[in-house]
């Protein structure tokens, strides 16, 4: 029964954003409101760029040290969500994004929803019990080994996967 709450949220959020524009517009005027919206978008883009690169560095560092970067991924993902909320025009989403920048709020939110998240760790390049396919690393990435019945060429001659196009190259 979670679906009605999500639908209600998607209906109420735009209405709340419109109300926020009206209230802020009455307080600071049209140009001030537009300036705040543009400023929050620029802040969101800068935050997304800085935090994205910083999160990649932390993930790489923790991977080299042999630690599982679970907390780094969660904290970084929440900051990326905050940056995206800053980019979305509106003051309600900006307030939610600002709240996500506070470490206490992120920890509290993760403790509330973290119990529902299940992390499954699988061995890379392993053969699953239900799959007849195997993946092996190739020079340009993983290679998927398919059986004849798993793959058929497209009969359309203009398709990039047709036999004709392969022979022409």
Q: What is the 3-state secondary structure (H, E, C) of 53-103?
A: HHHHHHHHHHHHCCCCCHHHHHHHHHHHHHHHHHHCCCHHHHHHHHHHCCH
Residue 159, SS3? coil
Supply the pLDDT for residue 161.
61
For residues 105 and 39, membership in a common domain is answered with yes
Specify if 158 maps to a domain. yes
* Residues 47-57: tens digit of each pLDDT: 888 887 888 88
Q: Which of 28-37, 38-47, 63-72 has the lowest mean pLDDT?
A: 63-72
Question: Is 60 exceeded by the pLDDT of residue 39?
Answer: yes
Residue 93 CB neighbours (<10 A): 21
**Gyration radius (Cα) of the chain, Å:** 24
Q: Does one domain contain both 34 and 78?
A: yes
Pair (92, 164) in one structural domain:
no
Looking at the structure, tell me whether residues 153 and 109 fall in a common domain.
no
Q: Specify if 4 maps to a domain.
A: no
65 shares its domain with 20: yes
Which domain covers residue 151, as residue numbers?
136-168
Provide the number of structural domains found in the chain. 2
- Max CA pair span of the chain: 68
What is the spatial distance between Cα 111 and Cα 109, in angstroms, rounded to a whole number? 5
Instruction: Confirm if 28 and 60 have CB atoms less than 8 A apart.
Output: no
- Residues 98 and 153 occupy one common structural domain: no
pLDDT at 151 > cutoff 60:
yes
Q: Per-residue pLDDT tens for 135-149? A: 555 566 677 777 766
Question: Are 21 and 76 found together in one domain?
Answer: yes
Inside any domain, residue 58: yes
Q: How far apart are CA 157 and CA 164, in angstroms?
A: 6
Q: Are 59 and 72 in contact (CB under 8 A)?
A: yes
Please check whether residues 151 and 85 belong to one and the same domain: no
């Amino acid at each position: 029964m979670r679906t009605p709450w999500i639908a209600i949220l998607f209906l109420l959020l735009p209405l709340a954003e419109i109300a926020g524009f009206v209230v802020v517009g009455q307080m600071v005027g049209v140009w001030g409101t537009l300036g705040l919206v543009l400023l929050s978008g620029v802040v969101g883009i800068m935050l997304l760029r800085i935090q994205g690169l910083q999160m990649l560095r932390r993930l790489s560092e923790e991977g080299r040290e042999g630690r599982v970067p679970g907390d780094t991924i969660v904290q970084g993902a929440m900051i990326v969500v905050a940056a995206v909320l800053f980019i979305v025009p509106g003051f309600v989403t900006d307030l939610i994004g600002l709240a996500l920048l506070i470490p206490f709020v992120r920890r509290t939110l993760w403790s509330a929803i973290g119990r529902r998240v299940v992390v499954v760790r699988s061995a890379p390049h392993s053969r699953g019990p239900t799959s007849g396919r195997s993946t092996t690393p190739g020079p340009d990435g993983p290679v998927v080994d398919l059986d004849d019945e798993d793959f058929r060429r497209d009969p359309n001659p203009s398709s990039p996967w047709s036999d004709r196009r392969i022979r022409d190259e």
